[in-house]
Chain A
Amino acid sequence: MVTRDTLIDMLNKIAETIIENKEFLTDLDAAIGDGDHGINMDKGFRAVIEKLHGVKDKDCGSILKTTAMTLISTVGGASGPLYGTAFLKASIIAKEKMELESEDIIRMFDEGIKGIVMRGKAKRGEKTMLDSLIPAYEALKISIEGGDTLTQAFDKASKAAYDGVEYTKTIRATKGRASYLGNRSIGHQDPGATSSYLMIKSLANFLSN
């Protein structure tokens, strides 16, 4: 079970991880995109940290919705609408809840991914964030349904997301700016898949501590 205090800690942990990896994400993006992924995500999550102070007493839905709207209005590029939409969809599941059960977290993850698919018109295998998010979601769901704790489930999700990032190195991008490179995008890991993996990994680390 995740209380709203824990939820805020988790979101802060995600934000810190993204901020720490600003340069890394920007370098990955410079290789196959336009080199702004880390810069934009850093800006967005710094704003999220600020905004979270103001929603400490709110329900989980409001906390997630604030996160979503902050990302939508600060990140820009493609990542802003995509991550923003994901958090917005998750916030609907968490609406008026003061704590989240493992089942809620599975549904939030599922709805978030559906939001990204809708907004980005992408699917798995196109060298996008979906290539780490979908395997992570599947691993999380199987793990929880098999009776694992949330900590164990996120650990497995994190490993699946990592494998997803590795997989993006082997495929050609057909969505986003990297698609302009054709086969030249092969060999590079996708920056969006990487930022998604880093978020999930930060949650796994947080829960195991």
Chain B
Amino acid sequence: MKKVINNPQNVVNEMLEGMVKAHPEYVKRLEGFDVLVRVKEPKRGKVALVSGGGSGHEPSHGGFVGEGMLDGAVAGEVFTSPTPDQVFEAVKAVEGGAGVLLIIKNYTGDIMNFEMAQELAEAGNIKVDRVIVNDDVAVENSTWTTGRRGIAGTIFVHKIAGAAAEKGMDLPGVKRIAEKVIAGVRSMGMSLTPCTVPAAGKPGFKLLEDEMEVGLGIHGEPGIYKEKIKPASQITKDLMDKIFTDIKLEENDEVAVLINGLGGTPLMELYIVNNEVDKFLKKKGIKIYRTVVGNYMTSLEMAGFSISILKLDDELKGLLNYKADTPAFKQL
């Protein structure tokens, strides 16, 4: 294992310290907890948004704490859900009297830990609701699996539900918006290399020099198939075809696009993919309303990317345009 770290046991702690020192105008750390919250006091009467999950996906989720997006982010160990006491602490810290919405990615551990935190908060008379993001079309959504995973599409939920909360919607309203985004967003990813969890010290899986894995999760879970590497145009088409089997889009529909890097792929390649996505959508007569390209939901040093497509309507467009000012996402 070759990593710029001090001690595998201390990566999350040291990363959070570094994040706070990089963005002191945005975030602070709750003392004694792996929780980042907005540096400003909670706004009275605003629904607060808390997300989180395992670390290793930076800038998710701490990088999205700030005006127009999250109020708090909880960091678990690398690729491991945070524990209920940590989530509960975040809820207590950001709650401003209008309730708290938990934005959870669909993983068994995340759901259980956030659910226990919700039970703790409700026992303390804090109104808490939750939404579960499941945008990854690589996983069959059937009774035979845990359901689709939550991946990069989560960023759109943070952005749009965050705007709804900032505009003063109540908890059921913000939840409705978040669920509308979840219903309209689909993602699919691929990878060229595995990644190494610091505490494990070795890669989670193997890929040959000329192989890629399609449908891979953001925790290095094996994908749906391995095959020989192809040109960007063909890879993009394969992913987009799969996305289109899962979401109904017609000519003149408007979408937002997120080309998300997994950590080890240069922006140059992400832009090449974006160019292909643009061609693909134009051919179908689908209008691109907004494009976001960059590393938003990473998987440590993994090389690869995911494409997320969000179907928009006027309500979602308005909220997408609303101001967001966070360390890792700005909409000015």
Q: Which residues in window 91-116 of B have CB below 8 A to A?
A: 107-109, 112-113, 115-116
Taking a contact as CB atoms under 8 Å apart, the answer to whether A75 and B83 are in contact is yes
Instruction: Name the residue of chain B whose CB is nearest to the CB of A128.
Output: B108
A73 interfacial contact with B, CB 8 Å: yes
Question: B146 contacts which of A75, A76, A80, A175 (Cβ < 8 Å)?
Answer: A175
A187 interfacial contact with B, CB 8 Å: no
Q: Which residues in window 168-204 of B have CB below 8 A to A?
A: 197, 199-200, 204
Taking a contact as CB atoms under 8 Å apart, the answer to whether B82 and A76 are in contact is yes
Query: What is the distance, in angstroms, from B73's C-beta to the closest C-beta of chain A?
Result: 15
| A144 to B143 CA separation, bound complex (whole angstroms) | 37
Interface segment, one of A35-43, A49-57, A104-112, A160-168:
A35-43
Taking a contact as CB atoms under 8 Å apart, the answer to whether A80 and B113 are in contact is yes
Q: Which residues in window 39-91 of B have CB below 8 A to A?
A: 54, 76-86
Taking a contact as CB atoms under 8 Å apart, the answer to whether B113 and A76 are in contact is yes
Query: What is the distance, in angstroms, from B180's C-beta to the closest C-beta of chain A?
Result: 26
Q: How many residues of A contact B (CB 8 A)?
A: 32
Interface segment, one of A4-12, A149-157, A178-186:
A178-186
Taking a contact as CB atoms under 8 Å apart, the answer to whether B108 and A175 are in contact is yes
Taking a contact as CB atoms under 8 Å apart, the answer to whether B146 and A180 are in contact is yes
Residues of B within 8 A of A180 (CB): 138-139, 145-146, 149, 217, 221
A120 interfacial contact with B, CB 8 Å: yes
Interface majority SS on A: helix, strand, loop or mixed? Answer: helix
A174 interfacial contact with B, CB 8 Å: yes
Residues of B within 8 A of A73 (CB): 83-86
Interface majority SS on B: helix, strand, loop or mixed? Answer: loop
Query: What is the distance, in angstroms, from B288's C-beta to the closest C-beta of chain A?
Result: 30
| A79 to B110 CA separation, bound complex (whole angstroms) | 11
Query: What is the distance, in angstroms, from A86's C-beta to the closest C-beta of chain B?
Result: 12
Taking a contact as CB atoms under 8 Å apart, the answer to whether A81 and B109 are in contact is yes
Q: Given A180-B145, A180-B217: A40 and B80 within 8 A (CB)?
A: yes
Taking a contact as CB atoms under 8 Å apart, the answer to whether A35 and B113 are in contact is no
Taking a contact as CB atoms under 8 Å apart, the answer to whether B109 and A35 are in contact is no
Residues of A within 8 A of B220 (CB): 34-35
Taking a contact as CB atoms under 8 Å apart, the answer to whether B204 and A35 are in contact is yes
Question: B200 contacts which of A30, A79, A80, A172 (Cβ < 8 Å)?
Answer: A30
| A39 to B9 CA separation, bound complex (whole angstroms) | 10
Q: Given A36-B77, A78-B109: A179 and B145 within 8 A (CB)?
A: yes
A198 interfacial contact with B, CB 8 Å: no
A177 interfacial contact with B, CB 8 Å: yes
B219 interfacial contact with A, CB 8 Å: yes
Q: Given A35-B197, A72-B83, A80-B83: A177 and B221 within 8 A (CB)?
A: yes
14 interchain pairs, CB-CB under 8 A: A35-B200, A35-B220, A39-B199, A72-B83, A73-B85, A74-B83, A76-B81, A76-B113, A78-B81, A80-B81, A81-B113, A82-B112, A177-B217, A182-B144
Q: Report B's interface with A, CB cutoff 8 A.
A: 54, 76-86, 107-109, 112-113, 115-116, 138-140, 143-146, 149, 197, 199-200, 204-205, 217, 219-222
Nearest 8 interchain pairs by C-beta: A78-B109, A81-B112, A77-B109, A34-B219, A179-B145, A76-B80, A78-B108, A77-B80
